[in-house]
Structure 1
Amino acid sequence: MTKRLAVFASGTGTNFSALNQAIKDRQIPAEIVLLVCDHEQAPVVQRARVAQIQTLIVDFHAYPTKAAAEEQILQKLKASQVEAILLAGYMRIVGPTLLRGYPHRILNLHPALLPNFPGRHGVEDALAAGVRETGVTVHFIDAGVDTGEIIAQRVVPINTDDTVTSLATRIHAAEHDLYPTVLQRLIDEGVF
């Protein structure tokens, strides 16, 4: 049975496109049926249009509370029969409304080896710390910032001449492979 997924993204959408392509190429029994984005002009919105994937743009400033905005998202997810959510560069902390609606069914992709370097600047923070390696983490989300149960990680070495751009490029390559691999595993194991 094909799993119905939503991807939440805020930016360029490279992971969105990589996930969508990997689902097709690897014949993962899943389908991205909805993109949820919090920025109308984000490049990921155009990627979803090209892929003919329905998009929900949510302007959080148009709602009286975050919970009200998330309730609107939750209604759309349920109407679209979404079974699990994949965060892919979504730059908002998911609140209790969505956490209750999709318990243990929301994954996040983080550009560092958690618990090291949580938050928005994982690549920059790893470089600034002078560590020899960083990587990618796929984890379930909880109410904290990058504190949920870790599912899988992949190490990415840091070269002495790395810049944020060169390191981020290698991290993206690891993300584009690891995220669909984890998705396949969770489906195979019946977690999703």
Structure 2
Amino acid sequence: MAKKVRMAVFASGSGSNFAALEAACRAGDLSAEIALLVTDQPDAYVTERAQQAGIPVAAFRPREFDTKSAYEQAVLKALQEAQVEWLLLAGYMRLIGPDLLQAYPEKIINIHPSLLPSFPGKDAIGQAVAAGVKVTGVTVHLVDEGMDTGPILAQQAVDVIDGDVEKTATAIHEVEHGLYVRTLQDVLKK
């Protein structure tokens, strides 16, 4: 049997994308294993999801570090100890800095709830609804030093539902879970 790619998922919230990735790994739909959850919000629900799945958690509070580099060096140490090969951002609400970018060149992937380059950054769904667009979507992209500016790997359109953020968010999450797994599987085959 082929060796599975070891991934770390970075998340800051409830972890629905984390759960979808973990389920895909367990089902064999993704030729990888989640070796570590990294979170900047130790009390976030995603930590409970990881613990229930038996996945180690590396939880750090960035404000407890003097610099962003010191924070990322602590994260990097945990990644190296877990022998992680790829980093997957799944609702991680921090910009990745030079320490991690240099350690994992072209091996950091993010999922974003809009059709980039439209509506980058926080509250992309709210931005789309406020702009009055009829279609938004989901983008999977490589991470670079910018905010949601890395090379796009895949996109899928999602209709804005009745100008409603919550209904549109539900539709986007349904698309995210499948698109992220399919895109990662394609990337890992290369």
Q: SS in structure 1 opposite 2:145?
A: coil
Q: Following TM superposition, by how much is the alpha carbon of 1:157 offset from its aligned partner in structure 2, in angstroms?
A: 1.2
Match of 1:115 among 117, 123, 143: 117
Runs of 4+ aligned residues of structure 1 deviating over 6 Å after TM superposition are none
Corresponding residue for 1:178? Answer: 179
Q: Following TM superposition, by how much is the alpha carbon of 1:28 offset from its aligned partner in structure 2, in angstroms?
A: 2.0
2:114/2:139 contact within 8 Å kept: yes
Alignment pair present for 1:155 and 2:148: no
Q: Which amino acid aligns with 1:113?
A: L
1:47-96 Cα shifts (integer Å, max 9, x gaps): 00000000000111111101001001111111111000000000000100
Corresponding residue for 1:166? Answer: 167
Unaligned runs of 5+ in 1: none
Normalised by the size of structure 2, how large is the TM-score? Answer: 0.97
Q: Which amino acid aligns with 1:177?
A: G
Q: Which amino acid aligns with 1:147?
A: T
Q: Whole-Å Cα distance in 2 between the matches of residues 7 and 184 of structure 1?
A: 15
Identity over aligned residues, as a percent?
Answer: 48
Q: Following TM superposition, by how much is the alpha carbon of 1:24 offset from its aligned partner in structure 2, in angstroms?
A: 2.1
Q: Which amino acid aligns with 2:71?
A: A
Q: Whole-Å Cα distance in 2 between the matches of residues 40 and 186 of structure 1?
A: 30
Q: Following TM superposition, by how much is the alpha carbon of 1:153 offset from its aligned partner in structure 2, in angstroms?
A: 0.2
Corresponding residue for 1:21? Answer: 23
Corresponding residue for 1:53? Answer: 55
Q: SS in structure 1 opposite 2:137?
A: strand
Q: Following TM superposition, by how much is the alpha carbon of 1:188 offset from its aligned partner in structure 2, in angstroms?
A: 1.1
Q: Whole-Å Cα distance in 2 between the matches of residues 92 and 135 of structure 1?
A: 21
Q: Whole-Å Cα distance in 1 between the matches of residues 29 and 178 of structure 2?
A: 14
Corresponding residue for 2:77? Answer: 75
Q: Whole-Å Cα distance in 1 between the matches of residues 174 and 24 of structure 2?
A: 13
Unaligned runs of 5+ in 2: none
2:110/2:140 contact within 8 Å kept: yes
Q: Which amino acid aligns with 2:13?
A: G
Q: Whole-Å Cα distance in 2 between the matches of residues 130 and 28 of structure 1?
A: 36
Normalised by the size of structure 1, how large is the TM-score? Answer: 0.96
Counterpart mapping for 1:74-153 below 5 A: 74-153=76-155
Number of aligned residue pairs: give it. 188
Q: Following TM superposition, by how much is the alpha carbon of 1:162 offset from its aligned partner in structure 2, in angstroms?
A: 3.7
Q: Give me the CA root mean square deviation.
A: 0.8
Q: Following TM superposition, by how much is the alpha carbon of 1:163 offset from its aligned partner in structure 2, in angstroms?
A: 1.0
